[in-house]
Amino acid sequence: MDFALSDEHRMLQDTLRGLLARHQGDDLWPALAEAGVIGALLTEDEGGFDGSGSAIALTFEELGRAGASMPLVAAMIGASALATAGQGDLAAEVAEGSARVAFADAEPGTRYDRGVAISVDGDRLTGRKTMVAGAEDARAIIVTTADALWLVDAKAEGLTLNAYPLMEGGRGADLTFADTPATRLGALDDFGAALSRGILGHSAFALGGIIAASDLTLDYLKTRKQFGRAILEFQALAHRIADLAVEVEQARSAVTNLSGHLTAEPAIRDRHVQACKATVGRVARLVAEESVQLHGGIGMTEEYALAGMIRRLLAADTAMGDADYHLERFANGEPAWA
């Protein structure tokens, strides 16, 4: 067995680290596109050149470590789903970064059901989606309903966009559909490969944040002095940072498991989708809460780097089903996408 990165992936990692050190916010997307990072998340059939679990995991882990906020998961799901549904032209534009798509999944009034707030009548959608990352910049929206995936033009009639900041740092929107024309891409479970990659993206992004928050916390415990010594010397705190270190490895292995089974047969892949999101979501929440507590008051202040990390960790757990959602489906032996 060899868990090390290939030479190509080490180069991709170096490229990403360089880009993330130099670019932030709105500048980041064009820089990533130009460097071919979006293509690395997609297979050749989808307009990219890699699309392996390993490339996806390392890319999102780096984004998570750097705290970059951008709807790259949507680009990956979107291009993959569009290619699968025979919309190759738009997929290629997304892959090269000249077009952006958003992924509208969450709905108001429900804990992760699909089709509660939105309904289908022929080729038209009516209802609402919420917390749609990057909707303002999207040319088209990929929309989930109870059992299908749809493509909606951002300028379609009857589509209203109401934008606001997301707690992970970027902007999102509520999308209200009023008899809005849409193109059915196919049944939800036809897109298991694309959606499972979304789970890997969110999980690896969370892993990067988990590592960044635990590292920051360890540094703080080493330097913060109370009662005349570094607080890391208090055993009660030292054991808790040790427990976090153990859980960080669990999260890493859960991401590795999904990354290594991304192209396995759906029944096996889905077990890893659920196990990965359940593990990483649990660890993300644990690290978020423990990092704040181990810091004390300073860990709650906006000026300190931890605040943004905490919000991104919670957001990554929350997106596309949290730990409990995937735990329940795993326990029931249900497929991930149906």
Q: Which residues bind another protein (CB under 8 A)?
A: 105-113, 116, 128, 130-131, 162-168, 172, 174, 176, 225-227, 234, 236-237, 285, 289, 292-293, 296-297, 300-303, 306-307, 310-311, 315, 318-322, 324-325, 327-328
Least Å distance between CB 304 and another protein?
9
Q: Which is nearer to another protein, 58 or 313 (CB)?
A: 313
Least Å distance between CB 295 and another protein?
9
Q: Which is nearer to another protein, 156 or 163 (CB)?
A: 163
Least Å distance between CB 107 and another protein?
7
Residue type, 18: G
Least Å distance between CB 255 and another protein?
21
Least Å distance between CB 47 and another protein?
28
Q: Which is nearer to another protein, 148 or 315 (CB)?
A: 315
Question: DSSP string of 35-94?
Answer: TTHHHHTS-GGGTSS---HHHHHHHHHHHHHHT----HHHHHHHHHHHHHTT-HHHHHHH
Least Å distance between CB 216 and another protein?
14
Q: Is 49 exposed, middle or buried (0-12, 13-18, 19+ CB in 10 A)?
A: middle
Q: Is 171 exposed, middle or buried (0-12, 13-18, 19+ CB in 10 A)?
A: middle
Q: Which is nearer to another protein, 42 or 273 (CB)?
A: 273
Q: Which is nearer to another protein, 238 or 267 (CB)?
A: 238
Give dist(CA 130, CA 143) in Å, integer.
11
Radius of gyration of the chain (CA): 20
| Token pair of 6 as six digits | 């290939």
Least Å distance between CB 296 and another protein?
5
Give dist(CA 259, CA 58) in Å, integer.
10
| Token pair of 70 as six digits | 């951008």
Give dist(CA 227, CA 225) in Å, integer.
7
Q: Which is nearer to another protein, 122 or 228 (CB)?
A: 228
Least Å distance between CB 201 and another protein?
15
Q: Which is nearer to another protein, 269 or 329 (CB)?
A: 329
Whole-Å CA distances, 256 to 1, 5, 147, 327: 13, 12, 29, 18
Give dist(CA 210, CA 208) in Å, integer.
5
Q: Which is nearer to another protein, 46 or 174 (CB)?
A: 174
115, 147 Cβ separation under 8 angstroms = yes
Least Å distance between CB 154 and another protein?
17
Q: Which is nearer to another protein, 123 or 233 (CB)?
A: 233
Give dist(CA 187, CA 196) in Å, integer.
15
Q: At what angle do helices 235-260 and 266-295 cross, to 10 degrees?
A: 160
The backbone region for 150, taken as left when phi is positive above 0, alpha when psi lies in -120 to 50, beta otherwise, is beta
